[in-house]
Structure 1
Amino acid sequence: MAEAVQSDVEAARRLLAADGRFRVLERVALPDGRVPLGPIAGSKIGICLDTETTGLDPAVDSVIELALRRFRFTADGKIVALDAPFAWLEDPGAPLDPVVSRLTGLTDADLAGRVIDGDAATTLLLSASLVVAHNSRFDRPFVEGRLPAVAGLRWSCSMEEVDWAGAGYEGRALRWLLDQAGWFYAAHRAGDDVDALIELLRHQFGDGSTVLSHVLAGADRCGWLVRADGAHFDRKDVLRQRGYFWNGSAKVWMREVGDEALGDEREWLDREVYAHGHRARASGPVVSRVDAGSRYRRLN
């Protein structure tokens, strides 16, 4: 009976696709347990991760849910095995903001007395050669603040390390990217987001490359983190248009550039931010080397 139903589903899918007026989305439904997806010889261990938190600032806010799932991957970006999913809740010790409850679906009752298994989470994370989140700039500082023993692991980001616009996609939100790739998922809990991210990493672009292959390439690159220390408030729009983002923890505008662009970036800053008349409170930027072990970390 199940095979007959599946056959009907596939026939309906082909009919709708052939009509041209419809687009079929498939629900993300990864298996709950460990499962091989291909030959694992020579593969490495990665982890997809997501957090839910009480707010946006890792200096004052707390992790209330941590979800992660290990996978094995090949050098060319193919996921060949999945581990079981793991997720923990944690009581922040104070009532949740109603906005957080609406966004996460979590309540104070859900979290009462709950604690993240730090030892188990740390062991899993330390077993991986790469950690991937869809917004590592948000998740990494929270994870390292809650689990300091995992500081310094190699991270990459499926949101920032993929040229989504160049691949013909609109926006960078996980749900919207999946929608354009032909998938959907309903919930917004950390565990659901992790499975959705794994499905996105498996997606192939028109040239046959996977999303994960681009994420891996991003992890392998080195660059320079340029901090526009002392930039005057009036230069914020100029900095934003240049590609700088505001780091709330460090209270500074920053961006990452490659080796070949560092000289031009210094010249641009000298002209547009630190030149006489722009009222900068510093004489120039602070520049530091960055790679997968330091990228996306919280800066003070």
Structure 2
Amino acid sequence: MQVRQNFRGNNGVIGEINNLNEPSFPIPTSVSRIHGITDSDVAGKRLDYEKFDRIFAETDIIIAHNASFDSSFIQRYFPAPKDIPWHCSVKDIAWKSYGFPTRKLLDLCRYHRITNHQTHRALDDVKLTVQLLQQRNPAGNYYVKELLDSTKQPS
């Protein structure tokens, strides 16, 4: 498991967490090809549970691009986030109504001229999602506002 978190203060990013965790089984070669993480990269690595528990205790909301995947993954290791509202930048933004053929993070980032490359590493996906949410939709509103306003019940 790889968990990375990026959190912001009033003056930008105030910290990033980058943890790798050795799984109980070998990483399939096909998966390593996607994100570049190998068994040797995670050998002996463990999550800093206390640090994550402190962060979750101070967290009001969690935003993820495909929150259903991330929340199930995170909650396997940490019980606290089940009580924190999750917002999904895939489901809670009207991408299709704006004419986007897909809701894939890389495709949306390409359209918004953020990047043409995605490493499929958690921290990189977080950074891309933050950059994407800082863009404006065709109506002129920031995507992050649309995401937060889109539903009274978080994803």
Distance 2:12 2:4 in 1: 18
Q: Structure 1 pair 90/104, CA: closer, same or farther in 2 (3 Å)?
A: same
Question: In the aligned structure 2, how far is the partner of 1:132 from the partner of 1:140?
Answer: 10
Residue 71 of structure 2 aligns with an amino acid whose one-letter code is R
Q: CA RMSD in A?
A: 1.6
What count of residue pairs does the alignment treat as equivalent?
Answer: 154
Higher relative contact order, chain-length normalized (CA < 8 Å, sep 6+): 2
Pair 1:213-2:150 in alignment: no
Deviations 1:124-160 (A, max 9, x none): 1231211001011111011111011332101100011
Residue 56 of structure 2 aligns with which residue?
125
Which structure shows the higher strand fraction?
1
Q: TM-score, normalised by structure 1?
A: 0.49
One-letter amino acid of the counterpart of residue 4, structure 2: A
Given the alignment, which residue of 69, 73, 76 partners 1:145? Answer: 76
Determine if the alignment matches structure 1 residue 172 to structure 2 residue 103. Answer: yes
Q: C-alpha displacement at 1:186, in angstroms?
A: 4.1
Partner of 2:124: 192
Name the structure 2 match of 1:280: none
* Contact 1:125/1:131 (<8 A) preserved: no
Percent identical across equivalent pairs?
A: 25
TM-score by length of 2: 0.91
Which protein is bigger by CA-based radius of gyration? Answer: 1
Residue 188 of structure 1 deviates from its aligned partner by: 2.0
Q: Which residue of 2 aligns with 1:256?
A: none
Q: Residue 67 of structure 1 corresponds to which residue in structure 2?
A: 4
Which stretches in structure 2 are left out of the alignment for 5+ residues? none
Contact 1:122 1:150 in 2 (8 A): no
More helix by share: 2
Q: Partners in 2 of 1:202 and 1:135 — Cα distance?
A: 17
Whether contact under 8 Å (2:89, 2:147) holds in the other structure is: yes
* Aligned ranges 1:25-104 → 2 under 5 Å: 64-72=1-9, 81-104=12-35
Distance 1:132 1:72 in 2: 15
CA distance in 1, matches of 2:132, 2:57: 23
Q: Secondary structure at the match of 1:162?
A: coil
Q: Runs of at least 4 residues of structure 1 off by over 4 A?
A: none
Q: Identify unmatched segments of 5+ residues in structure 1.
A: 1-63, 74-79, 222-290, 296-300
The residue aligned with 1:135 is 66
